[in-house]
Amino acid sequence: MARGGFPGGGINMNMIKQAQKMQQDMMRMQQELEETTYTASAGGGVVEATVSGKYRVQSVKIQPEAVDPDDVEMLEDLIVAAIGEAMNKAEAAAGEQMKKITGGMNIPGMF
C-alpha cells in the first residue's frame, strides 16, 4: 500500500477539489432554495398555497367562493391539496438542482 494508506499513491487532489466544489455548490443551492417559493392551487384556483424551497408554508389564499359553511371538509381538502402540490414542486426543483450538482450521482439522505 502506498503512503497515506491509499492504494495507488495517496489522496487524489483533484478528487478533493471536486468534493470541495460540490460542497460549495450544495451550500449555494440550499441558500437559493431558502429564497425560492413555489405556488400551487386547487379547486380551479379557489385555494392557493405558497411554500419555500425549504418546505415551509409561506401563505394560503382562499377565494370567498371556496368558503361554504355547510362543506368545511371540502375547503380543508382543497387546502391540503394545494399545499401538497406546492411541496411537490419544491421537492422536484430541489431534486433537479441536486442532479446538476452531483452529476446524477445518488447521495443518500439528500432530497
- pLDDT of res. 19: 80
- pLDDT of res. 33: 79
Q: For residues 86 and 50, is the Cβ–Cβ distance under 8 A?
A: yes
- pLDDT of res. 1: 46
Query: Residue 45 is part of a domain; what is its CATH number?
Result: 3.30.1310.10
Q: How many structural domains is the chain composed of?
A: 1
Residue 76 lies in a domain: yes
Chain center to CA of 111 = 7
Reported residue count of the chain is 111
- CA 45 to each of CA 72, 79, 83: distance values in angstroms, whole numbers, following the listed order: 17, 11, 13
Residue 1 lies in a domain: no
| Amino acid at residue number 65 | E
Which domain does 80 fall in, by range? 10-102
Residue 18 lies in a domain: yes
Q: For residues 110 and 101, is the Cβ–Cβ distance under 8 A?
A: no
Residue 111 lies in a domain: no
Chain center to CA of 79 = 20
- pLDDT of res. 53: 87
pLDDT per residue as tens, the chain (111 positions): 445 555 555 568 888 888 888 888 888 888 887 889 999 999 999 999 999 988 899 999 999 999 999 999 999 999 999 999 999 999 998 888 888 777 766 655 554
Our CA angle for 78, 45, 85, nearest 5°, is: 55
Residue 79 lies in a domain: yes
